[in-house]
Structure 1
Amino acid sequence: MTKARYQAKIANQRKDYLHKLTTDLVKNYDVIEDLKTKNLMHNHHLAKSIANASWYQFRTMLEYKCAWYGKQLVVVSARNTSRICSACGHNDGAKLLDIREWTCSECRTHHDRDINAAVNILNCGLKAIG
C-alpha cells in the first residue's frame, strides 16, 4: 500500500468516526463544553494528539448537524467552571491542576473538580436556552 493511499485511508476512518460521533451527540445531547484547542496546543505533550483529533472538523460537523436535526447548539465557555461552587456560586479562586477535589470555603460543600465543572456547564447551558 502506498503512503498516499494509507494516509487517505486514515483520513477516511477519522472522518467516518467523527460523523458517527457527532450524529450520536446531536441526537442525544444539547449542551457541549467549548474547549479552547488553541490553548491546549501550547502543551507539547498533548499538541500532536489534539491536532490529530480534528477538533475544528468536529465542531463544524456539530454545528451543521444541529441545524439539520432542528436542534439548538448551545456553546458554553468553560471559563472558571471548576473554580465556582455549583451549590452556592462562590468563586474559590485558581487551583493547581493536581487538585482534583476541594471544599467550598463559603458553603463547605465538597466537590470533585470535574463533576463540579460539568454541573456548572450544564447550568450555564440551561440558563442560555431559558
Structure 2
Amino acid sequence: MIVENLHVKGMVRNHNLAQAISDCGWGTFTNFLAYKLGRKGGKLVEIDRWFPSSKLCSNCFYQVSEMPLDVREWTCPHCGSDHDRDGNAALNIRAEGIRMLALSAVEMLAYGWCSRFCCRRGCKTRSGAKA
C-alpha cells in the first residue's frame, strides 16, 4: 500500500481545513494500516511529502515549476497531456512507491537479506534467525 506522508500538523493550521483534517485521523489510519499490512506480510510505503506529485506529468515526467493550489486541471507544456491535479498526483505517488519497493528489493538482494516470504528452504536472514 502506498500513501503520501502528509504534514497533518501544518495542514491543521489552515482554519478552513482544520476540522475536516482533524476528523479523518490520518496518523491513526496510517498506523493501523501499517499494523494490518504487517500481519498479512504486506508493506506500507510512505512517499515523502515534498515529492512533487501534483506538479509532475505522469505521462512524460516533466515537472512544472509553479502550480498554485487553485489550479485543479492543467496541461503539460512538454507532451500536451491533460491532467486532473489529484488524479495525476495519485498516479505519480503510485509510480514512486513502486520505484521505492523495487529499490528496496534490490538492496535486500545485494546485502543478502531475506524475507520469510522469499523462500522456504530455511535460509537465514542477516540477523542469523531462521526465516
* TM-score, normalising length: structure 2: 0.69
Distance 1:110 1:52, change over 3 A: closer
Matched residue type, 2:78: E
Equivalence for 1:34: 5
* TM-score, normalising length: structure 1: 0.70
1:41 Cα deviation (Å)?
0.8
Q: How do residues 1-130 of structure 1 correspond to structure 2 at under 5 angstroms?
A: 30-78=1-49, 79-130=51-102
SS at structure 1 position matched to 2:89: helix
1:102 Cα deviation (Å)?
0.9
Question: How far apart, CA to CA, are the structure 2 residues paired with 1:129 and 1:52?
Answer: 31
1:126 Cα deviation (Å)?
0.9
Q: Which runs of 5+ in 2 are unaligned?
A: 103-131
Question: How far apart, CA to CA, are the structure 2 residues paired with 1:65 and 1:122?
Answer: 20
1:84 Cα deviation (Å)?
0.7
Question: How far apart, CA to CA, are the structure 2 residues paired with 1:118 and 1:103?
Answer: 16
Give the % identical residues. 38
1:54 Cα deviation (Å)?
2.2
1:53 Cα deviation (Å)?
2.6
Flag as ranges the 4+ runs of structure 1 deviating above 6 A. Answer: none
Q: Greater RCO between the two (CA within 8 Å, min separation 6)?
A: 1
Matched residue type, 2:12: M
- Flag the structure with higher helix content: 1
Matched residue type, 2:9: K
Residues 72-122 of structure 1, C-alpha deviation per residue, up to 9 Å, x if partnerless? 111112431110111111111221222111111112212111111111011
1:49 Cα deviation (Å)?
2.9
1:38 Cα deviation (Å)?
1.7
Question: How far apart, CA to CA, are the structure 2 residues paired with 1:72 and 1:116?
Answer: 23
Matched residue type, 1:119: L
Q: Which runs of 5+ in 1 are unaligned?
A: 1-29
Greater shift in the superposed pair: 120-129 or 59-68: 59-68
